[in-house]
Each structure stands twice: as structure tokens, then as C-alpha cells.
Amino acid sequence: MTLIKNISGFRGTIGGENSENLTPLDIVCSVSAFSKLIYENNPGLTNLKVMTGRDGRKSGEIIHYIVNSVFASMGIDVIDCGISTTPSLCWGVLNNDCVAGLMITASHNPEQYNGLKFFNSDGEFLSKIDVSKLIEYSEQKSISFSTNKDLGKVSKYDNLIDDHIDAIINLDILPLKEIQLLNLYVIADAINSGGSIAIPKLLDRLSIKYKIINEEISGSFSHNPEPLAENLKDLSKMIKKNKADLGIAVDPDVDRLVFFDENGEILGEENTQVYCSDFVLSVKKGSTVSTLSSSNSLKDLTISYDCDYYSTPVGEMNVVKKMKEVNAVVGGEGGGGIIYPDLHYGRDALVGIALFLSLLVRKGTSVSNLKENYPRYYMKKLKMSLDNSRLIDQVFEKIIDKYSYLSPNTEDGVRIDFDNGWVHMRKSNTEPIVRIFSESDSQSKADKIALEIKNEINSLI
């Protein structure tokens, strides 16, 4: 895969030639570029400190060693958190006086991928301006490293996940005692990564009985790590076999989250933010934020509380920016990401689990009955290979012109709202593909909308 550099970080397949994949040389150039950016953003400060972590991929340990070494070679001290979760690292950066953070992960991509997620001193994704600088610096030929007397040092921080979970447990919004009295039995798919460490710690603190599947961290994933129904069939079977009350699945860096009911039926990644937001809004009203590719369910829910809903281009950075602008009480992305700003401004599956359990307390019902209380929408998600980026832009322009009478939204690709649903087409931030999302009040309508747009794109290429 071509090495992709954008607001979501740098990501590619391991091995091959530098600049075409993710190689040791690319990592050295990327981390030294990030170090240069850190110095620019912190003029006059001494004893600069960054936090690093990784998910459970085979390549992670090697990359982590290179990352730490480059930071130290650039004169920056490193707090090495080992195998962790992205939300834990973001929370840790914010609460440990770090100037930046770097998580080694390719998120939901298969195990042959890896990547670098860069965070600022607030534990948030870099701004567009800083990302542009980072990409420019990473492609420069010369790198200036520190002299011997100015080298940074690397120290270990083994309790980051514990401290992050302590912060979740101490959130005022959680009905902690009531959660501990739920007497639930949960099956969780930890996909052989940081969730294998974090989820048991959280559930222990919440007095929830559990069984973890795919818990071994051996460098390989037991299935495609994207938390979709087709990849989670074993979890569904285990829920029914063990007569569990609830199922949980995360991705390798634990920023995406989906739930299953007691019948082994997935609630859908689009609904994670809806359920968690429902509990938050029931306690404190305020604005919510999600992306143009997210279900209308959150919009409907927010309006039902007489609050304001806002949409943004896809990307956590965009959601967080808008959340701050409108002082949102909760937000996220339809891919299973929930952001609760009272903890930190980042997608966090662990706080999402706690908020969902809080909703069960408030509703006093089973998970299968819970989902009947929400609007029924159906989505279709398609992918198309991206061979020519410029050609796709031209195709989008033609579609915008054709549907101009519907005033397409062009903030992020093209979103068109019809009387019976909507469609959103955009270039992916993490893969060389075009994503097509559609939604309607029936699966057949959603399928029809998405397929018609896909065929239209194909006819214009």
C-alpha cells in the first residue's frame, strides 16, 4: 500500500521500499519531523517530554524502539507506555505535562499494516496546519540530531491504563454503585491487542463478570480487526453459548466500540455514540457533534432533548474542533467512536463501555429491549478502489453539478440528502479507496441509494 500521510496520521504496510510502504527509514524521517515540529511549537522550553505507546501488532515492538530512539536522538525525553490503548495515551499526555504523544497503531486495519498517530500537548490530533508542516518536514532530505550531551532519556510508565481507568471510575456522571449491582455477564472480543489489558481492568472495577476472547497478544489478530458484524461471528456465538447479557468488541487501539445484545445480535457501530450520548444527555443537556458519514439517529436523539446537533467532515480532529466551538457535552463518529470531553477530547472505547452500562442502569431493561427505544435507520457501506485521485475529484464535481438542485454538502467529499435518505461519498483518510455511505428507513432503500451512486461513479470514470 502507498504510504498515506494525513490528519489521521501516517499509515502503510510493513516492509518494501521507503516512501512506498512503512519502513524503518520512513519512521526515522517521520519522528524526526515530529520532533522538529515539537521544538517549533514549544520555543524556549527545556526538558521536553513525549509519551509513546503501541498496539499489539508484530511490527509494533520494532517500530516502538525506533520511535523512542529517534525522539531521544533529537534531545526529547520519552515516557514509554508499552502496549497500551490510544485513548489511554491521549489521556496520559494531557495529564502528565507532555508536549506531545505518539501511538504506534494502524487502528482497524489488518495486521500487515502499521502507522503513527501524532498528538499535541492536549492529547488531541494535530491541527491541519501542523499536519501540513509535519508532512513537509518528513520529506526533507537532511535531519539534524542532538549532540551527545543533549540526548534525551527513555523511561517506562507501566501504570498508564490503570490510571486512565481510575479517571473513568471517578467521573461524576457514572452511577457507579448501580453499575456494580447490575450483576451482568459480559463476553468481550479484545482482538489480541491493548483491549486484552484494559477491558478486564475496567470490568473488574465495575464489578462486571466477564469472559475475554482473542486475549492473547502474540502479534497476530484472530480475525479482521475492524469491529463489524462479519468479523465478529465468534463473539456472537460465544454470547449465545455462554448465555451472556452483553457483548463488547473493540479495535486494536481501543478507540472504536460496538455492542451485542444477549441474543448475539450486533447493535451496530453507528449506534454506539447514540446509546452513550443518550445517557449523557439524560444527565446534562447540551450540544452533540458527529460526522457527515454518521447516522441521523444521533441528530434525532439530540433534537428529542431539545438540544442542538452539529455535523463535521470525517476525522476526530474535525469533531473535536466543533465540539469545542459549541461546548458540546458529548460527540463522536459513526464508526463506533465516542468522545466524552469531561475525561478528554478523544475517541475512547473504555469510557464508552462505562457510559453504556450507565444507560442500562437508567433504562432498567435488557440490551435487546433497549434498542427498540431508538429510531430505526439502515445503512449501506461500500468501498471502491482509488486508482486516480484527480479523476475522483473530477467525478465528484460532475455529481455535484448533476444534483445541484439538492444543494450537496461539499465539506468532505459529497453528501446528498434525498427525501428518503442520504448518501456520502469521500476519499478515505486511511486507505487508498473511496467510501460510499448511505442511510434510509429500510435496508433495501439504503442499498439502492449506495449502489446507484457507485454505478454512477463507475460510469463517469
Which residues are known catalytic residues? 107
Which sign, positive or negative, has the C-alpha torsion 331, 332, 333, 338?
Answer: negative
Provide the CB-side half-sphere exposure for 461 (13 A, CA).
Answer: 15
Please report the DSSP string for 19-48 in residue order: TTBB-HHHHHHHHHHHHHHHHHHSTT--S-
Which sign, positive or negative, has the C-alpha torsion 367, 214, 271, 179?
Answer: positive
Cα–Cα distance measured from residue 323 to residue 250, given in angstroms and rounded to the nearest whole number: 24
How many other CB atoms sit within 10 Å of the CB of residue 144?
8
- 286 phi and psi, to 5 degrees? 175, 180
Cα–Cα distance measured from residue 302 to residue 281, given in angstroms and rounded to the nearest whole number: 8
At residue 376, what is the residue type? R
| Residue 181 to residues 6, 177, 228, 320, Cα–Cα distance (Å) | 45, 6, 30, 34
Cβ neighbours for 452, distance < 8 A, ≥ 6 positions apart = none
